Amino acid sequence: MSRLLTLLLLYQNDYIVGKYISLEKLIERTKDSYYDALQKSSQGWMKDENNYEAFVKYLLGIIMAAYREFFDRAHIVEEKKVPKPDMIEELIKNHLGTITKTEILERAPGISRTTIQRTLTELVKAGKITKIGGGRYTKYAWNWRNEE
């Protein structure tokens, strides 16, 4: 819940990188550091002697890493002119958990709903993604079993 609230606070203060890069995934990759920073920040809490510096530095590092990853991706798209279906595929692959067509539309400005639908259909047929549900409740997830 605290990570969700952190993301909300970042959005409210115009740090929207979490819309495009999963902060949760970055934290998961560095979970040992996350828990170390959390523990250091909690020491002395009962006596009101704790210091949040370790956790603040960790969280700022995560935000900076997210922006770095965002700019790296933007640079690749700008330089290489990646085809739109490939951009959609990468977006789904790098998204943590399930994603809806609406979320893809939000995260991939400039790509039409038709192109997204066509790409989703092709990715499902190829077995790269899994379709979950139906109708307006349809979600998609990357099929990691086919990566092996």
- pLDDT one-digit tens code per residue, 55-96: 999 999 999 999 888 887 776 555 557 788 998 998 898 888
- pLDDT one-digit tens code per residue, 50-64: 899 999 999 999 999
Share of the chain above pLDDT 90, in %: 41
Task: Name the average pLDDT for the chain.
Answer: 87
pTM of the model: 0.51
| Cα–Cα dist 136/138, whole Å | 6
Residue type, 18: G
H or E segment and range at residue 29: helix 23-29
- Phi first, then psi, for residue 141 (nearest 5°) are -140, 145
